């Protein structure tokens, strides 16, 4: 065991986060996200018993967000006409505010199919058991300056 590391971060996930370099992307997918088919060229880590907010909060304790892009955090846009509410996005905003001085200004959205295309270029994908719809989130890694 290690001190100061959130217990939810497995050794496998910590290794992947440490291996990632500046501008590499990490996707945390909800329970409906096609992680395995999107992640053919990425590392897929299964965390089925956990929701996205708890994973996001733990990761952002050790993972710097890219300061060279306007939106290092991207959410999958709701499809036009889809009557889905996204209250989980408010939770994400609170978590990002806690870990990045830009707060919710660091968060942008990507159209659903463009999100899938960007996911195919990601370094890693975390598959979760999150039941909220449109709960997928993409993080772009920054640099450690300390």
Catalytic status, residue 99 = no
The whole-angstrom separation of Cα 73 and Cα 96 is 9
Helix axes 52-60, 88-99, angle to 10 degrees: 10
Phi (first) and psi of residue 72, to 5 degrees = -75, -10
Q: Which of 57, 66, 100, 134 is catalytic?
A: 66
Q: Is 66 part of the annotated catalytic residue set?
A: yes
Active-site residue flag, 134: no
Catalytic residue among 24, 50, 71, 116: 116
The H-assigned helical ranges of 1-146 are 11-19, 35-38, 52-60, 88-99, 112-119
Q: How far apart are CA 62 and CA 7, in angstroms?
A: 12
Phi, psi of 94 (to 5 degrees): -60, -45
Q: Which residues are marked as active site?
A: 22, 66, 116
């Amino acid at each position: 065991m290690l001190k100061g590391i959130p217990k939810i971060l497995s050794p496998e996930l910590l290794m992947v986060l440490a291996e990632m370099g500046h501008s590499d992307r990490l996707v945390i997918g909800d329970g409906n996200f096609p992680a395995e088919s999107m992640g053919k060229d990425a590392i897929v880590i299964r965390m089925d018993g956990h929701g996205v907010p708890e994973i996001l909060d733990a990761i952002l304790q050790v993972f710097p967000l890219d300061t060279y892009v306007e939106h290092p955090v991207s959410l999958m846009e709701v499809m036009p006409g889809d009557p889905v509410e996204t209250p989980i996005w408010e939770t994400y905003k609170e978590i990002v505010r806690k870990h990045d001085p830009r707060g919710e200004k660091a968060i942008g959205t990507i159209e659903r199919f463009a999100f899938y295309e960007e996911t195919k270029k990601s370094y890693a994908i975390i598959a979760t058991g999150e039941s909220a719809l449109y709960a997928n989130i993409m993080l772009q890694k920054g640099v450690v300056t300390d």
